[in-house]
């Protein structure tokens, strides 16, 4: 592995970030010309994506780490005085998935936002949000990460409240602003404490100085940074604001908030736990992360079962999937990290797809309320197909991508349990149960939105225009491709990123000069990079053969039995006996009723969960502050 990088490539990360910001301001200059605004935004996201895609070869495949010092202010006598942009495989991995989601959502919103007025500032905020997110994952400087965090948060708040005529949107934006500021404050205080301890803000140098030097100040800094980034990833006690924000924001923005915004929190937690403090080796930190992940996973999926709004339901599922990622990253094994990162990219793809289908339903029908929808499959066939791809992916049905990443996560938790810590077997159980509940709630959505009887009020709905379908099909294709070629993904994308997570020595040496890590690292544990061994992966090819055989068999059976059964029965004839031959009345089985037996038996728990999600900002702030206090206390007791 060499750290010398070709000169041309070095400028790409900073250009990728700056293109988005310059695009944001050029959109403002374009003023009232809508076409110009769209072209500028499209060019900005495409250029940004291309620049990062060109980095795949040097960073992912050749294993270089790009260190770029702003204004050539390189480290002097072992002190990083300048601001660095440092791109290793982990940063590039997150950068790529961010730019893919941003590009798809951007093209989708050309048509989608046509229904709104005052669109002038939409792309400004949109590109600001994208640029902020990209700045976080590519930056090599702790304070710059904080600044970008703020840029990103305020742009996201502005976009949440974009439909200002909607009082829910204003309220959600307010909640988001207040609760999000807890996270920002924690991150800033943690950054300040780290700076006071290390006298530097460079991530690489902190990673060399800080590990092994745990004193009360650094423990407090760790807890605050953890809580701050956790708030940005909407982990368990911070999750209700996500649901409100997603429900109220335009769908193309929900893609960003769910698929992209939360990833910065995950990225921040990886950087803090694996690099800055290297505290991931401690059992207590692993337990904390896994515990929080499991709570997020389970609580949010049960909340999702209770929802009656398509987008709120998706929002809760989004946090549930973040729980998977956090759990998997908390295992601190190579397999666990690989599973978490794989699930991160899959989550961005299928959740983006699902939010865009929800947006299409909203675009066509004007509502996302499950009880008011129904039978859209016949009128919106493409949207239904896209939704099914997304739903199968998120529920972990085999040929789609969710299956493989969840499979790795089950394996990783089970491996951990087999390795002695038997409690992780319970984690595996929670993961599987959550997956089942995810499938259940998507059956509910599919039933009440796309299948079932058509709502007669929705007369002439049809598939959204081509401009909205193409980005959705791109995401759907990526969902299928990442599921069908897991070996390629593991070798070229996930593998290097996983190796980068465990290779903090390389990260330090790339920035500070070779040998710096050896000289300064006090605690050499975790230095050896564990091997990425999978105890058995699935073969998509053989599964496909099986699938085709079963499909042919079903087809053959139905073909053979076609002649002699169900002859003469009209479509509604089986109900005729109950209605005396009259035409069956419209009776919509509402989304809330499909699992009524299940929900009835769990009414104590579900009712309690509904009651505590009061929707009052004060309560959510109380949760957030309590969670921060608990995390701080836990870190002090156990670290």
Partner 1 sequence: MKKNWKRDDLIVRSLADSYLPIALILGFYVILHGNISPGGGFQGGVLAASGVLLLYLGYGFRGIATALNMERMHRLEAIGAIAYVLFAMLGIFAGYNFCRNILWNSGEIGDLWSAGTISLMNYAVGFKVLTGVGFLLLLIINLLSTEPGHEHDGTIPTTELEEGGDAE
Give the residues lining the site for partner 1 (CB under 8 A). Answer: 10-11, 14-15, 18, 21-22, 25-26, 28-29, 31, 68-72
Least Å distance, CB 90 to partner 1, is 22
Task: Work out how close the CB of 72 gets to partner 1 at its nearest, in angstroms, rounded to a whole number.
Answer: 5
Q: How far is the CB of 206 from partner 1 (least distance, A)?
A: 22
Say how far apart CA 375 and CA 442 lie, in whole Å. 15
Q: Find, among 61, 63, 66, 57, the residue nearest to 15 by Cα.
A: 66
- CB 59 to partner 1: min, Å: 18
List alpha helices for 139-215, DSSP H.
142-160, 167-198, 203-209
- Whichever of 10 and 177 has its CB closer to partner 1, that residue is 10
Identify the bridge partners of residue 141 per DSSP, sorted by sequence position. Answer: 202
Nearer to partner 1, 85 or 231 (CB): 85
Q: Which is nearer to partner 1, 73 or 608 (CB)?
A: 73
Could you tell me if 594 and 448 are in contact, meaning their C-beta atoms sit under 8 angstroms apart?
A: yes
Nearest approach in angstroms of CB 122 to partner 1 is 15
- Least Cβ distance, residue 36 to partner 1 (angstroms): 13
Closer to partner 1 by CB, 132 or 228: give it.
132
Phi/psi at 68 (5° precision): -130, 115
Instruction: Quickly tell me which residue has 């041309």 as its tokens.
Output: 8
- Kindly tell me which of 27 and 198 has the beta carbon lying closer to partner 1: 27
Q: How many whole angstroms separate alpha carbon 444 and alpha carbon 307?
A: 10
**CA distances from residue 82 to 150, 268, 524 in whole angstroms, order as listed:** 21, 21, 27
Shortest distance (Å) from residue 27 CB to partner 1:
8
For residue 97, give the nearest of 330, 278, 266 by alpha carbon: 266
Q: Which helix (H) or strand (E) element contains residue 574? A: helix 573-579
Of 116, 122, 59, give the one whose Cα is nearest residue 93.
59
Distance in Å, CB of 32 to partner 1, minimum: 9
Q: Please, what is the minimum distance in Å from the beta carbon of residue 541 to partner 1? A: 46
Q: At closest approach, how far in Å is the CB of 522 from partner 1?
A: 32
Looking at beta carbons only, is 69 or 222 nearer to partner 1?
69
- The SS3 of residue 563 is coil
Q: Smallest distance from the beta carbon of 51 to partner 1, in angstroms? A: 13
Whose Cβ is closer to partner 1: residue 21's or residue 146's?
21
**Shortest reach from residue 174's CB to partner 1, in Å:** 17
Residue with token string 């745990």: 214
SS3 for 464-517 is CCHHHHHHHHHHHHHHHHHHHCHHHHHHHHHHHHHHHHHCHHHHHHHHHCCCHH
Is 141 in contact with 205 (CB distance < 8 Å)? Answer: no
In the complex with partner 1, the residue whose CB is nearer, 69 or 350, is 69
What Cα–Cα distance (Å) separates residue 68 from each residue in 13, 44, 198, 217, 510? 9, 22, 21, 30, 10
Question: Which residues, other chains included, contact 16 with Cβ-Cβ below 8 Å and sequence gap of 6+?
Answer: 47, 48, 51, 52, 95, 99, 134, 138
d(CA 78, CA 199): 12
Q: Is the CB of 45 or the CB of 276 nearer to partner 1? A: 45
Q: What is the DSSP letter of 581?
A: T
Q: Residue 25 and residue 169: Cα distance in Å, rounded?
A: 25
Please identify, using beta-carbon distances, which residue of 11 and 599 lies nearer to partner 1: 11
386 in Cβ contact with 464 (< 8 Å): no
- Rank residues 65 and 499 by Cβ distance to partner 1 and give the closer one: 65
Nearer Cβ to partner 1 (15/220): 15
CB of residue 527 vs partner 1: minimum separation in angstroms?
31
C-alpha–C-alpha distance, residues 268 and 136, integer Å: 8
Q: State residue 418 phi and psi, 5-degree precision.
A: -65, -25
What is the smallest separation between the CB atom of 10 and partner 1, expressed in angstroms?
A: 8
Beta bridge mates, 66: 87
Does residue 386 contact residue 478 with C-beta atoms inside 8 Å? no
Alpha carbon distances (Å) from 98 to 211, 368, 498, 518: 29, 26, 18, 34
Minimum CB distance to partner 1 smaller for 73 or for 605? 73
Q: Which is nearer to partner 1, 26 or 431 (CB)?
A: 26
Measured CA to CA, the distance from residue 390 to residue 472 in angstroms comes to 10
Inter-residue contact 264 to 232 (CB < 8 Å): yes
CB of 73 to partner 1, least distance (A): 9
- Residue 15 vs 47, nearer CB to partner 1: 15
């Amino acid at each position: 592995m060499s750290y010398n990088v070709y000169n041309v490539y070095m400028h790409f990360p900073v250009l990728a970030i700056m293109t988005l910001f310059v695009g944001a301001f050029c959109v403002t200059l374009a003023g009232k010309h809508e076409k110009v605004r769209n072209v500028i935004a499209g060019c900005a996201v495409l250029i940004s994506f291309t620049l990062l895609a060109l980095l795949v070869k040097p960073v992912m495949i050749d294993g270089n780490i790009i260190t770029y010092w702003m204004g050539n202010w390189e480290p002097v006598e072992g002190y990083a005085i300048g601001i660095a942009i440092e791109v290793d495989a982990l940063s590039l991995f997150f950068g790529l998935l961010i730019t893919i989601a941003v590009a798809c959502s951007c093209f989708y919103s050309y048509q989608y936002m046509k229904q709104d007025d005052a669109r002038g500032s939409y792309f400004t905020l949109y590109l600001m949000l994208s640029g902020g997110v990209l700045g976080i994952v590519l930056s090599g400087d702790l304070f710059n990460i904080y600044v970008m965090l703020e840029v990103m948060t305020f742009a996201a708040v502005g976009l949440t409240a974009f439909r200002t005529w909607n009082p829910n949107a204003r309220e959600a934006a307010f909640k988001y602003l207040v609760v999000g500021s807890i996270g920002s404050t924690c991150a800033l205080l943690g950054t300040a404490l780290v700076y006071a301890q290390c006298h530097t803000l460079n991530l690489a140098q902190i990673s060399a100085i800080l590990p092994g030097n745990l004193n009360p100040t650094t423990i407090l800094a760790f807890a605050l940074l953890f809580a701050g980034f956790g708030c940005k990833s909407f982990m368990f006690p911070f999750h209700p604001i996500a649901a409100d924000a997603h429900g109220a924001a335009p769908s193309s923005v929900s893609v960003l908030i769910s698929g992209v915004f939360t990833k910065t929190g995950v990225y921040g937690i990886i950087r803090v736990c694996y690099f800055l403090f290297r505290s991931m080796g401690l059992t207590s930190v692993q337990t904390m992360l896994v515990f929080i992940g499991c709570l997020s996973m389970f609580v949010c999926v049960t909340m999702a079962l209770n929802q009656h709004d398509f987008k709120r339901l998706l929002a809760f599922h989004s946090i549930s999937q973040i729980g998977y990622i956090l759990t998997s990253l908390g295992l601190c094994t190579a397999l666990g990290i690989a599973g978490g990162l794989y699930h991160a990219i899959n989550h961005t793809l299928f959740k983006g797809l699902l939010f865009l289908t929800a947006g299409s339903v909203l675009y066509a029908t004007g509502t996302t309320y499950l009880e008011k929808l129904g039978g859209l499959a016949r009128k919106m066939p493409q949207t239904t197909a896209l939704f099914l791809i997304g739903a199968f992916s998120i529920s972990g049905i085999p040929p789609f991508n969710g299956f493989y990443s969840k499979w790795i996560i089950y394996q990783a938790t089970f491996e951990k349990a087999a390795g002695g810590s038997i409690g992780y077997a319970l984690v595996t159980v929670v993961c599987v149960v959550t997956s089942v509940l995810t499938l259940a709630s998507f059956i509910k959505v599919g039933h009440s939105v796309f299948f079932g009887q058509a709502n007669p009020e929705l007369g002439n709905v049809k598939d959204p225009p081509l401009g909205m379908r193409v980005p959705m099909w791109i995401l759907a294709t990526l969902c299928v491709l990442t599921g069908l070629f897991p070996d390629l993904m593991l070798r070229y994308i996930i593998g290097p990123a996983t190796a980068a997570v465990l290779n903090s020595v390389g990260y330090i040496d790339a920035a500070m000069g070779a040998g710096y890590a050896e000289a300064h690292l006090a605690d050499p544990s975790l230095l050896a990079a564990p091997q990425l061994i999978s105890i058995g992966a699935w073969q998509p090819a053989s599964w496909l053969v099986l699938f085709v055989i079963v499909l042919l068999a079903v087809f053959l059976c139905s073909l053979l039995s076609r002649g002699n059964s169900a002859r003469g029965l009209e479509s509604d004839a089986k109900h005729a006996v109950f209605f005396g031959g009259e035409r069956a009345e419209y009776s919509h089985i509402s989304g809330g009723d499909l699992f009524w037996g299940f929900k009835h038996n769990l009414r104590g728990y579900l009712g309690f969960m509904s009651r505590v999600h009061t929707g009052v900002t004060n309560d959510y702030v109380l949760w957030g502050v309590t969670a921060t206090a608990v995390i701080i206390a836990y870190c002090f007791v156990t670290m």
